[in-house]
Amino acid sequence: MTPWLRKIHKWVGLIVGVQLLLWTTSGFVMSLLDHDAVEGKAYRASAPAARAWPPDALAPAQVVAAAATKVQTLTTGWLLDRPVYHLSDSESARTVDAMNGAAIEIDATLASALAAASYAGPGKPATSQRLDKTLEVRNHDGPLWRVDFSDANDTTVYLSAQTGRVLEHRNKTWRLFDVFWMLHIMDYAGRKNFNNPLVVTMAVGGLWLALTGIWLLVASFHWHEFVPQRFRRRRELAVYAPDGTRLSTLASAVGDSVYVAMARQGLHLPSNCGGGQSCGLCEVRVRGVAPPPTAADRAHLTGAKLKQGYRLACNLHPSADMRIEVDAGAGLWTRHTAIVEHVDAVTPFLREIRLRMAQAPGPEFRPGAYVQIHVPEYALQRADVLHPEHHREDWAALDLPAALTNKKPVRRSYSLAMPVERVGGCLILLARFSPNRAHGKQLPAGKGSTWLYSLKPGDQVHFSGPFGDFALKPGGREKVFIGAGAGMAPLRAMLHACLDTGAKERIHFWYGARSLRDTPYIEEMEALAATHRNFSWHLVVSGETNAAFASAQGQVHEVVQEMLLSRHPYLQACDFYLCGPPAMLTATRALLRELGVAEEQVAFDDFKI
């Protein structure tokens, strides 16, 4: 319930928050406006001195008796210098001459004269306009006259077309006030109902927001956060390898996640987010009955894995003794050391790094696997982040700080970019530098990529692994590789593994980049396509295009849909391998689901970087 409540709370908070901002802003603006100006007092003539009622005027009883309809109220008044009686009933009002009882029609000429008598400004009156109703005099029922004056305040005088009485003086200050009044009371039609349904809805929404906020605040804390770890009860956490070998038995404090419990014992599961439930790398399989999956589990793990008992270790809190299985097995206990042999800038922001281990890598270093580089604490200067001279302009455009630091060790994941057998037992990594600007926002430079881009031949690197279940499926089914960015690395390794072993099935590689300059290994892919008739290479650029290399322009998943998937006679006979930025990966997986491609046909790798 809590994830859904958080989501609803967020969107209700946005809606109510916008209205709170409007309430605050409108109230502030209305308080700044001059009250007398809003009331239209600036050019309003002073009320005339009281005048004696003429003694020879008709008596009220005579006027009422002579009226053709029933009279409910009768009042005296003056139209300019003319004494009058105002008569009204439940449906209408009218004015008669107090001297002879004759009905007086409030025409345009008289309305202009009455408006001019009520006005004391420098403006000249325009032609009178008769109106049935207007929002500027919304509390008056019945026809009225509008007389505009040509002054700096855009003054308008409104009069009753039945009695000739001056109803309101309006001006541009009042009109500005009225707009903010409308926003304040949320009555966008009549502008006078302070208890309209929208206001009531916002009030209820604000109350709901406060109550759910209190609940979420309480739900965000757990009792164990207030109890030191050494005082909490212990649970036994048994760790197994995929082959059933029991690797270790750990003591887990109640309240700790599996990720934290293992880290306390020095066993660091793969993770780029440090247990923040955002990268999805720390998956483990619960032996026995697994707890219900959380929203984070469902977001990062496939339905098939959830059914098999896989859960994210950072979101798995043992309430009793638990047995878990880790895909990495004993690899979690290992720490490898390698020496940097060669560094090659294949594009301005993609760097190939060749590492040589002290011992020959085993079969677990297969195409599709990744290693976790141990990034140490560092304090680098801008000049320590190396790049070749021909990439100077690209790097000059980055807004990098003078000092780049990492205050505590972290781990970052990088896939093998070539089969180790093809490069003499070395590990080839492809690292993308993450600039500190994205979509106009200021972001810190990537901690892992910054350090890797400072490496030189001879430097020492520590890593764990390999990890991951992204691998080529057995069998000779048609293969479709779709990638972008640093996703080139595992797909390139898989492609070479297929072609080097003499694969005969049809193989497609669709790769998306912003431009040709951002695309690595173009010549290599062209050469492979020319050598192997069963392999086709397709470059899709989202920026400029070039007929010599690019197949199309646009987003890679959209181009693949148009140029391959929509024309393919039998997608169920294909295996798909996806790797790239999260947005591209999400869009491509959604596209394949829409086309009816089964989950078992799709293998993907997403490091959320």
Q: Assess whether 345 and 457 both reside in one domain.
A: yes
CA 40/CA 151 separation, integer angstroms = 13
CB atoms within 10 A of CB 6: 14
Ranking 119-123, 204-208, 324-328 by mean pLDDT, the lowest is: 324-328
CB atoms within 10 A of CB 274: 15
> End of a domain among 435, 467, 499?
467
How do strand 234-240 and strand 322-325 relate by DSSP bridges? parallel
Instruction: Return the percentage of the chain with pLDDT > 70, whole number.
Output: 91
CA 429/CA 452 separation, integer angstroms = 10
Which of helix, strand or coil describes residue 444?
A: coil
Amino acid identity at 270: P
Contact in structure between 433 and 453 (CB atoms under 8 Å): yes
Which of helix, strand or coil describes residue 468?
A: coil
Would the pLDDT of 525 be above 90?
yes
Whether 48 is covered by a domain: the verdict is no
Q: Assess whether 101 and 207 both reside in one domain.
A: no
The contacts of residue 416 (CB under 8 Å, 6+ apart) are 365, 366, 367, 368, 369, 370, 371, 427, 428, 429, 466, 489, 490, 493
- Domain harbouring 339, CATH code: 2.40.30.10
- Domain harbouring 301, CATH code: 3.10.20.30
Residues 237-288: tens digit of each pLDDT: 888 888 788 878 888 877 778 888 887 777 777 776 666 666 777 888 888 8
Q: Assess whether 91 and 111 both reside in one domain.
A: yes
Whether 224 is covered by a domain: the verdict is no
Whether 591 is covered by a domain: the verdict is yes
Whether 55 is covered by a domain: the verdict is no
Summarize the confidence of residues 35-55 as an average pLDDT: 89
CA 147/CA 169 separation, integer angstroms = 10
pTM for this entry? 0.61
CA 26/CA 23 separation, integer angstroms = 5
Would the pLDDT of 497 be above 90?
yes
Whether 291 is covered by a domain: the verdict is yes
Q: Assess whether 286 and 254 both reside in one domain.
A: yes
CA 518/CA 347 separation, integer angstroms = 6
Summarize the confidence of residues 343-351 as an average pLDDT: 92
Contact in structure between 84 and 58 (CB atoms under 8 Å): no
Amino acid identity at 337: T
Between 403 and 444, the more confident residue is: 403
Summarize the confidence of residues 384-411 as an average pLDDT: 85
Ranking 75-79, 128-132, 193-197 by mean pLDDT, the lowest is: 193-197
CA 327/CA 331 separation, integer angstroms = 9
Q: Assess whether 410 and 451 both reside in one domain.
A: yes
Would the pLDDT of 547 be above 70?
no
In this prediction, residue 442 carries a pLDDT of 54
Ranking 275-284, 499-508, 577-586 by mean pLDDT, the lowest is: 275-284
Whether 144 is covered by a domain: the verdict is yes
Q: Assess whether 527 and 589 both reside in one domain.
A: yes
CA 412/CA 406 separation, integer angstroms = 13
Between 387 and 145, the more confident residue is: 145
Q: Assess whether 34 and 182 both reside in one domain.
A: yes
Summarize the confidence of residues 209-230 as an average pLDDT: 71
In this prediction, residue 71 carries a pLDDT of 87
End-to-end CA distance of the chain: 29
Encoded tokens for 188? 């966008």
CA 254/CA 224 separation, integer angstroms = 7
Number of separate domains in the chain? 5
Summarize the confidence of residues 363-377 as an average pLDDT: 91
In this prediction, residue 248 carries a pLDDT of 80
Would the pLDDT of 233 be above 90?
no
> Containing domain of residue 265, as a range?
229-329
Distances (CA, A) of 1 to 92, 219, 310, 359, 592: 60, 11, 21, 51, 30
With cut-offs at 50, 70 and 90, classify the pLDDT of residue 439.
Answer: very low
Encoded tokens for 605? 């790798």
Would the pLDDT of 84 be above 50?
yes
Residues 106-144: tens digit of each pLDDT: 999 999 999 999 999 999 999 999 999 999 999 898 899
- Domain harbouring 565, CATH code: 3.40.50.80
Q: Assess whether 547 and 430 both reside in one domain.
A: no
Nearest to residue 40, comparing CAs of 174, 160, 165? 174
In this prediction, residue 298 carries a pLDDT of 84
CA 166/CA 171 separation, integer angstroms = 15
Whether 317 is covered by a domain: the verdict is yes
Ranking 323-337, 378-392, 477-491 by mean pLDDT, the lowest is: 323-337
Q: Assess whether 348 and 402 both reside in one domain.
A: yes
Summarize the confidence of residues 99-109 as an average pLDDT: 92
In this prediction, residue 458 carries a pLDDT of 94
> End of a domain among 312, 329, 346?
329
- On average, the pLDDT of the chain sits at 86
> End of a domain among 170, 191, 207?
170
Q: Assess whether 484 and 542 both reside in one domain.
A: yes
Q: Assess whether 345 and 463 both reside in one domain.
A: yes
Ranking 264-273, 304-313, 498-507, 570-579 by mean pLDDT, the lowest is: 264-273
In this prediction, residue 565 carries a pLDDT of 92
Whether 237 is covered by a domain: the verdict is yes
Contact in structure between 115 and 106 (CB atoms under 8 Å): no
In this prediction, residue 545 carries a pLDDT of 55
Q: Assess whether 155 and 88 both reside in one domain.
A: yes
